[in-house]
Amino acid sequence: LFAGNTEFLKGVVAMDGLPPPDRLEVCFAGRSNVGKSTLINALTGRKGLARASNTPGRTQEINYFTTLNGPYLVDLPGYGYANAPLPVVEKWQRLLKNYLSGRQTLRRAFVLIDARHGVKDVDEEILKLLDRSAVTFQVVMTKLDKVKDKDRTKVLEQVRKAISKHPAAYPELVLTSSEKGEGIPILRSIIADLV
Ligand code: GDP
């Protein structure tokens, strides 16, 4: 599925720009700087494929990637990025809402949470939106290498507690470090099993 065959398909700015729902898809969401592009690049084995949320241009787009005979990988805009003007924020919030509630082929949302920070208020907003849209989400902890073993238990407890309140949550967390390559094969097999 991910053997170097992933390609950027298109950036989508409105619902009518979505590719035809001709295969299943999974999406990735997370605060700006959570490590989303690094994770997608690690997952696909292609450095530079997904670009950071603070790269001008691709910021507010839903980016589609194709895998060989596999699902679309969908990179949602990073949220919690304060610099965007309000009308822009409102426009993409509407797009996000329409996408999550209207995309029949969406199998799961992976919500990335920085292992140093746990679930924050801005994350809660998207978790609630996923509940309302009835999209199953699974939390992917990022940057595990930045947290000492002895501090992991506490943050993981906070995250488990936070997601336990969400009906759309898939209870198992995926622990990753894109830096070390930890958890990446597991995430690949989760995606492969879904589709
Ligand atoms: P995005 O805004 O969510 O796409 O975030 P990026 O993927 O651009 O990552 C933000 C910063 O975190 C960059 O400086 C990355 O090098 C760093 N980063 C991402 N993943 C990891 C990781 O697993 N470990 C460490 N130590 N740093 C990471």
* pLDDT single digits (tens) 57-96: 556 789 999 998 899 999 998 887 667 778 877 888 899 9
Span from the CA of 50 to the centroid of ligand 1 (angstroms): 12
Q: Which domain holds residue 85?
A: 7-194
Within a domain: residue 154?
Answer: yes
Whether the model pTM is above 0.90: yes
Q: How many domains does the chain have?
A: 1
Span from the CA of 66 to the centroid of ligand 1 (angstroms): 22
Within a domain: residue 133?
Answer: yes
Within a domain: residue 150?
Answer: yes
Q: What is the largest CA-CA distance in the chain?
A: 48
Within a domain: residue 45?
Answer: yes
Within a domain: residue 35?
Answer: yes
Within a domain: residue 73?
Answer: yes
Within a domain: residue 1?
Answer: no
CATH number for the domain spanning 29: value is: 3.40.50.300
Percent of the residues in the chain that have a pLDDT greater than 90, as a whole number:
78
Residue 35, CA distances (Å) to 16, 58, 115, 165 in order: 29, 16, 11, 25
Cα separation of 42 and 97, whole Å? 27
Model-level ipTM above the cut of 0.90? yes
Closest residue by Cα to atom 8, ligand 1, is 52
Tell me the pLDDT of the chain averaged across its residues: 92
Within a domain: residue 129?
Answer: yes
Q: Would you say residue 53 has pLDDT above 70?
A: no
Instruction: Name all residues whose Cβ lies below 6 A of ligand 1.
Output: 30, 32-38, 52-53, 78, 142-143, 145-146, 177-179
